[in-house]
A and B are shown apart, each in its own frame.
Chain A
Amino acid sequence: MKIIVAIKQVPERDAQVHIDSSGQWIEEANLQYAMNEPDAYALEEALQLKEKAGGEVIVISTGPERVSQTIREALAKGADRAIHVVCDDLAARDALGVARLLAAAIQPESPDLLLTGLQSEDLGLGQTGVIVAELLGLPHASLILQVEIIAKEGSKAQIKARRELEEGWFQSIELPSPAVLTIQSGGNKLRYATLMGIKRAKTKEVRTVHAADLGVSAAPAVALEAITLPKKQKSTQILNGSAEEAAAALVEKLKFEARVL
């Protein structure tokens, strides 16, 4: 089974982000990067499928040169080879633009399964995976925790996937390969990177493709106006009235203002 995992490089969890002078993106100098966590789970799922059923795991990622570090990490954890879609203006492209790049690079590989994280930790749009599925004309499912191959015939397989719904409900679905699944964090235990993995990764193939050569438009369909850092707010409100009135007012506020209930 040929599985492609699309991964994204995002600023490290503890990165201190500052908005750059354009007001439309963050300053990238001095940032440290890591693999987007849901993508790490997608990779883990792919590696476990390969361990059970055999096949090949290919990672694909788009972004500037620095992305190769995250690609190496994926190879170190056990992916067999990689495709790096070199693109220096990733921040300027919207989800559709990025999905177009990925779809164009993935198409010639005709994978049996495409996995990617449910969403990215930086933008959190949650769209890229499903748009790629649409562009490739493949069935897809999102919010997946576990994937299982239930029947296999040649390269065709029947896939069973477990989705997480609201309030502790789960849904089990089946779909035929080839398919696209977007994976959410927590379904598996991630493996740690090892020195041996990193050394072995050095000899694995990383094919670079330039965004400009893929023949897709760089013009975004969504115009980004500005980004802002969340405002730190401390406001104290005193709720007056009897205990019952105050409690009712508190529930009201928690529900509709703070939205935590």
Chain B
Amino acid sequence: MIFALPTLAEPRHFSLAEKLLFLALAAASVWGFWRRFGVVLEKILEAKKDAGFHLFPIGRRGREFLWEVMCQAKVIRQRPLPGLAHAFVFWAFCAFALVTLNHCATILGIGFLDPDGFAGRCYFYFAAVFALACAVGILGLFVRRFLARPRWLGEKLSWESGLIALLIFALMATYLAAFFVSDKNPAAKALWWAHTLTLLAFLPVIPHTKHLHLVLSPVTVFLSRGGFSRIPPLSGDEDFGLVAGKDLTQLVSLQAYSCVECGRCTEHCPANNTGKRLNPKQIVLGLRGYLNEFGPSSDEPLLGKYNSQQAVFECTTCGACEFQCPVGIEHVPILVGLRRGAVNTGAWDDPHGAKLFLALERGSNALGFPLAERDRFIEKNALPLYDGTQEYCLWLGCMGGYDPKGREIILSLVRVMQHLGVTFGVLRKEKCTGDPVRRLGNDLLFQQLAESNMEALKQSKTKKIISICPHCVRTIQEDWKEYGTPPEIEHHSEFLARYADRLPQQQSREKIVFHDPCYLGRYRNVYDEPRAVVSLAGKLVEAPRHRERSFCCGAGGGLAFLGEETGERVSHNRAAELASTGASIVGAACPFCNTMFRDALAAQGAGAPQLLDIAQLAARTLPQDNST
């Protein structure tokens, strides 16, 4: 049956002149490619090595490569329609690799796929299916870019994209058309040359445009640091973060050249969405511009011509950009790296920032209260002290120890733990984990806080910590590792979910919308546990942006301490979204989100939902006589 179908026309005879012309054009095309690609490669390789980079274990890299590159999972999942269109273009390219090789080989008389043979025929049909899908896909992408034009693609129409779309379309069309002519027909040769010329024109365009990602992004995904927002260690006495070109590492340079300018990062950035200067895509492109102009061994400051200090310090480190990026760019380590460069050298001069740093240089908490306040809270509520015999060390954190709302969360958790009969104790002395200063790039202070806390925990023989704050959890578990071995820690949502079947289920249909904290969701991959707790107290509803795509409250990255924002407040934007779900309660799982939404929800006016932490929701289900 298959033999009744059309056969791919393939001219059999080429003159010597044709062969020579082909070789000359191919050489010119490769030269055109290398002339730019060589420069980019050289810049990447010339950059300094990444401290703490290990190629092994390779399994994770393989898996990520398969999932993100081969399956295009992220591309599709985060933007289904254009994602699928892109995936077809990508898969067609993969399927075409063999076709293209064979195509070029035929003129030299060494073609290996026979259009008349069974295998060749099958393969050409296989490729034809993808060619068709690809042609449709690229048309769709063309329409989207030039007619629909979403905001995050930028104001400027890119002629490059138009050209590339045209070339890809021509490649597919000339391939498909060859099924409808015979070998003998001169049109077969015309099609062959048309296909070849398109191909040879395409190659040099790649490195000169953002289509460089065709070559680089698979490498970028494969070589990514892994984990989420992993901040690399500083190396040596002269490393203060990303200060100048000479601090750009190979990974950062590779990432800067891999950006495909899709704008997904910007589309989801809370700072950019609320009228701030920060645009994560521009941060990456800024580094690329810097590398193009100054190169990776320059002393020219990175914050200057291409990127601004103001923008870098507007980042909440929510990680939405990094989560979205389809080519594996790690924005948060870059942004924190630039902050490190500014703070570690004293170039960042901000009254609020300096106040926070001084409060932690001299005192124990980010809020600047005397420790005695915390003692008073512990005494007044008769919280047991941790003596090494209890199951959990209950970490209060700055918010739980000093902030009135944070304290309410702690007391609710205490009620639940007592109800469950789980033993715990609090530390007499506890310092800020260093989360805000870590994200603001103050390595000196962060190291002091991490070391002094780890020493205190060691002395108290703490084995397992429970905390109400996702920032504390992240910082203790991941960031402290740079200076020692932190104890095991879990977030109270994980604890509560584990004990959910021993907590009473409230027969309430009250609608509760859960807000995913960035540091619990994207940073820790905990999504279902807090929802399980919410479901004990009422009916869970979802906000439009939830789980991995949750929108930040505006507090992270030390921003809770930096005073008034420019533009709309991130927290107000999110609070309006949460309120619009019609829920009567907003469920939170982070004391920083809580403090941000306290005002933001109040600004929603009468009828705004009530704000409760999941610990408070869990405590509400307990019988009243159990109250302490």
Residues of A within 8 A of B358 (CB): 190, 192
Size bracket of the B interface: 20 to 34
Per a CB cutoff under 8 Å, which of A34, A196, A197 touches B361? Answer: A34
Per a CB cutoff under 8 Å, which of A13, A16, A194, A195 touches B362? Answer: A13
Per a CB cutoff under 8 Å, which of A34, A37, A189, A194 touches B444? Answer: A194
Would A196 and B362 be within 8 Å (CB), given that A16-B429, A189-B351 are in contact?
no
Would you call the interface of chain B mostly helix, strand, loop, or mixed? helix
Stretch from B173-181, B339-347, B409-417, B501-509 that touches the partner: B339-347
A178 to B365, CA, bound (A): 41
Q: In chain B, residues 561-587, which have Cβ atoms closer than 8 Å to a Cβ of chain A?
A: none
Q: With an 8 A cutoff between CB atoms, is A250 at the interface?
A: no
User: Are the C-beta atoms of B237 and A199 separated by less than 8 Å?
Assistant: yes
Give the number of residues in A that approach B within 8 Å (Cβ atoms). Answer: 18
Residues of A within 8 A of B353 (CB): 192
Q: In chain A, residues 1-48, which have Cβ atoms closer than 8 Å to a Cβ of chain B?
A: 12-14, 16, 32, 34, 37
A14 to B240, CA, bound (A): 30
User: Are the C-beta atoms of B452 and A32 separated by less than 8 Å?
Assistant: yes
A34 to B353, CA, bound (A): 20
User: Are the C-beta atoms of B361 and A193 separated by less than 8 Å?
Assistant: yes
A16 to B371, CA, bound (A): 9
Residues of A within 8 A of B361 (CB): 34, 192-193
User: Are the C-beta atoms of B354 and A193 separated by less than 8 Å?
Assistant: no
Q: Which of B234, B346, B363 has the most CB of A within 10 A?
A: B346
User: Are the C-beta atoms of A197 and B346 separated by less than 8 Å?
Assistant: yes
Q: In chain A, residues 154-203, which have Cβ atoms closer than 8 Å to a Cβ of chain B?
A: 189-199
Q: With an 8 A cutoff between CB atoms, is B7 at the interface?
A: no
Residues of B within 8 A of A190 (CB): 354, 358
Closest-CB distance, A58 to chain B (whole angstroms): 21
User: Are the C-beta atoms of B354 and A191 separated by less than 8 Å?
Assistant: yes
Residue of B nearest to A200 (CB): B237
A194 to B446, CA, bound (A): 11
Q: With an 8 A cutoff between CB atoms, is B357 at the interface?
A: yes
Residue of B nearest to A192 (CB): B357
User: Are the C-beta atoms of A14 and B370 separated by less than 8 Å?
Assistant: yes
User: Are the C-beta atoms of A196 and B345 separated by less than 8 Å?
Assistant: yes
Residues of A within 8 A of B344 (CB): 194-196
Query: Closest 8 A-B residue pairs measured CB to CB?
Result: A14-B371, A192-B357, A195-B344, A195-B444, A194-B346, A14-B364, A196-B345, A195-B443
**CB-CB contacts of B440-460 with A at 8 A, as 1s and 0s?**
001111000000100000000
User: Are the C-beta atoms of A195 and B351 separated by less than 8 Å?
Assistant: no
Per a CB cutoff under 8 Å, which of B346, B354, B364, B428 touches A196? Answer: B346
Residue of A nearest to B444 (CB): A195
> B residues bordering A, Cβ < 8 Å?
234, 237-238, 240, 343-346, 351, 353-354, 357-358, 361-364, 370-372, 428-429, 442-445, 452
A94 to B426, CA, bound (A): 40
A119 to B374, CA, bound (A): 27
A197 to B347, CA, bound (A): 12
- 8 A–B pairs (Cβ distance < 8 Å), ordered by A: A12-B362, A13-B370, A189-B351, A191-B346, A192-B346, A193-B361, A194-B444, A196-B346
> A residues bordering B, Cβ < 8 Å?
12-14, 16, 32, 34, 37, 189-199
User: Are the C-beta atoms of B345 and A194 separated by less than 8 Å?
Assistant: yes
Residue of A nearest to B437 (CB): A192
Residue of B nearest to A37 (CB): B362
Residue of A nearest to B365 (CB): A14
A32 to B443, CA, bound (A): 20
Would A14 and B363 be within 8 Å (CB), given that A32-B452, A190-B358 are in contact?
yes
Residue of A nearest to B349 (CB): A191
Residues of B within 8 A of A198 (CB): 444
A194 to B346, CA, bound (A): 6
Closest-CB distance, A30 to chain B (whole angstroms): 9
A196 to B358, CA, bound (A): 17
User: Are the C-beta atoms of B354 and A194 separated by less than 8 Å?
Assistant: no
A189 to B351, CA, bound (A): 8
Closest-CB distance, B485 to chain A (whole angstroms): 22
Closest-CB distance, B194 to chain A (whole angstroms): 60
Residues of A within 8 A of B354 (CB): 189-192
Q: Which of A32, A34, A195, A197 has the most CB of B within 10 A?
A: A195
User: Are the C-beta atoms of A193 and B370 separated by less than 8 Å?
Assistant: no
Residue of B nearest to A77 (CB): B346
Closest-CB distance, A244 to chain B (whole angstroms): 36
A196 to B353, CA, bound (A): 17
Closest-CB distance, A29 to chain B (whole angstroms): 13
Closest-CB distance, A125 to chain B (whole angstroms): 21
Would A194 and B343 be within 8 Å (CB), given that A13-B362, A14-B370, A32-B452 are in contact?
yes
A37 to B358, CA, bound (A): 11
Closest-CB distance, B129 to chain A (whole angstroms): 57
Residues of A within 8 A of B370 (CB): 13-14
Residues of A within 8 A of B362 (CB): 12-13, 34, 37
A13 to B372, CA, bound (A): 10
A199 to B344, CA, bound (A): 10
Residues of A within 8 A of B363 (CB): 12-14
Residue of B nearest to A34 (CB): B362
Closest-CB distance, A143 to chain B (whole angstroms): 22
Per a CB cutoff under 8 Å, which of A12, A34, A37, A196 touches B240? Answer: A196
Residues of A within 8 A of B452 (CB): 32
A16 to B429, CA, bound (A): 9
Per a CB cutoff under 8 Å, which of B234, B345, B364, B444 touches A193? Answer: B444
Residues of A within 8 A of B372 (CB): 14
Q: Which of B240, B351, B428, B452 has the most CB of A within 10 A?
A: B240
Residues of A within 8 A of B442 (CB): 192, 194-195
Residue of A nearest to B340 (CB): A195
Closest-CB distance, A50 to chain B (whole angstroms): 15
Closest-CB distance, B140 to chain A (whole angstroms): 50
A126 to B88, CA, bound (A): 78
Residues of B within 8 A of A16 (CB): 371, 428-429
A192 to B237, CA, bound (A): 19
Residues of A within 8 A of B443 (CB): 195
Q: Given known contacts A189-B354, A194-B444, A195-B240, what 16 new A-B pairs fall within 8 Å (CB)?
A: A12-B362, A13-B371, A14-B372, A16-B371, A16-B429, A32-B452, A37-B362, A189-B351, A191-B354, A192-B353, A192-B442, A194-B344, A196-B240, A196-B344, A196-B346, A197-B444
Q: Which of A37, A193, A196 has the most CB of B within 10 A?
A: A196
Residues of B within 8 A of A193 (CB): 357, 361, 444-445
Residues of B within 8 A of A13 (CB): 362-363, 370-371
